[in-house]
Amino acid sequence: MNFRKMLMAVTGTALLLGTGYGASGEVAADRSRIQSAALPAIKADVKYIAQTSEAEATAKREQELKRFKNLLDQQQKALSGKYQPGEIRYVYINDKEYHASISSTPFASNSYSLIYRNYDEYIKKNATGNTAMPLELKQIPDGYNFTLARIAPYLSWPEQKKMFSQVIAEGKASGQKIYVKKLQEKRISVELIYTMASPVNGISGVLAITAEPAGAADKTVESEPVKPQSEKLKVGGQEVVYTSIDKQEYKSVAWMNPKTRVNYIIRENRGQLTKEELIAVAGQVIEASK
């Protein structure tokens, strides 16, 4: 099973339909004069089909999961309640019939987190002088609003994958329908989340800025791998890696502070910032973390 897909199962899934011209752009453009009258109806049909298909899939999934309501309620109960600082909790459903369902996810996790929905409160309590991972953004990019700051226990991606495998193996061997595993982790990550003030074409982009500890032997930012299209740049004396994927729908800037051994990653998903604007955000974070 794909572990990254399991991790992403906690987030929603968006169905994206798109059209575009190929190498025959000029021919297609000429034909568009003839087809222009039909386009509104075609687009409406495509939108309706997409919405109907998604709604049907959601309804089918919800109906299927009703059979496992008792198990899912137990899982949710195990994930609820009071958490100790640094606690990470995993809950595995050990049921073959549930696993056979296409709508199932084998386990879920949650952790102790400090959430701040006011930037000034976050700065006052955690950002300046109170952490080995200073993370500030004094000038918000145009079109974005601060949403929240989150401080949570940290595991690297290889550590998470190892833990997923361990929880599944232990859960299967436990003989328990609901298997719970708890960890205490001293390392933390700090994350600032910003969302677009107004949607563009119905889409609200998200800007996430993260500080996380690097491993003792790490030379790159493991959680943001370098891609073939990545570029190495210098920002404020710091070498950074800029990556753009899928026609600018995803952009990132990542670097490691060699003195503090802290990784910084700035990610924009489906937003409108230019490369230069994202680099400017990186410059602010670099200056604040010196």
The 10s digit of each residue's pLDDT in 80-98 is 989 999 999 999 999 998 8
Average pLDDT, the chain: 80
Residue 177 has pLDDT above 90, yes or no: yes
244's tokens: 């753009």
C-alpha to C-alpha distances, 254 to 136, 227, 229, 241, 284, nearest whole angstrom: 15, 12, 14, 5, 13
Residues in contact with 67: Cβ distance below 8 Å, sequence separation at least 6, in sequence order? 101
- pLDDT band with cut points at 50, 70 and 90 for residue 236: very high
For residue 116, give the nearest of 189, 193, 50 by alpha carbon.
Answer: 193
* Range scoring the smallest mean pLDDT among 11-25, 206-220, 239-253: 11-25
Average pLDDT over residues 30-35: 33
How far is 163 from 107, CA to CA, in rounded Å? 11
How far is 63 from 70, CA to CA, in rounded Å? 14
Using the CB atoms, write b or e for 205-229: b if 16+ within 10 Å. Answer: bbbbbbbbbbeeeeeebbbbeeeee
Taking only Cα atoms into account, the Rg of the chain, rounded to an integer number of angstroms, comes to 23
Predicted local distance difference test score (pLDDT) of residue 106: 82
pLDDT tens for 241-286 read 999 997 768 999 999 998 889 999 999 999 989 999 999 999 999 9
Task: With residue 153 as reference, give the H or E element that holds it.
Answer: strand 144-153
Strand partners, 212: 263
How far is 24 from 165, CA to CA, in rounded Å? 49
Q: What one-character DSSP code corresponds to residue 180?
A: E
185's tokens: 């982790």
Residue type, 214: A
Per the CB < 8 A criterion, the answer to whether 265 and 212 are in contact is yes
Per-domain boundaries in the chain: 26-65, 66-288
The runs of H, that is alpha helices, within 101-206 are 119-122, 157-174
* Range scoring the smallest mean pLDDT among 2-6, 61-65, 132-136: 2-6
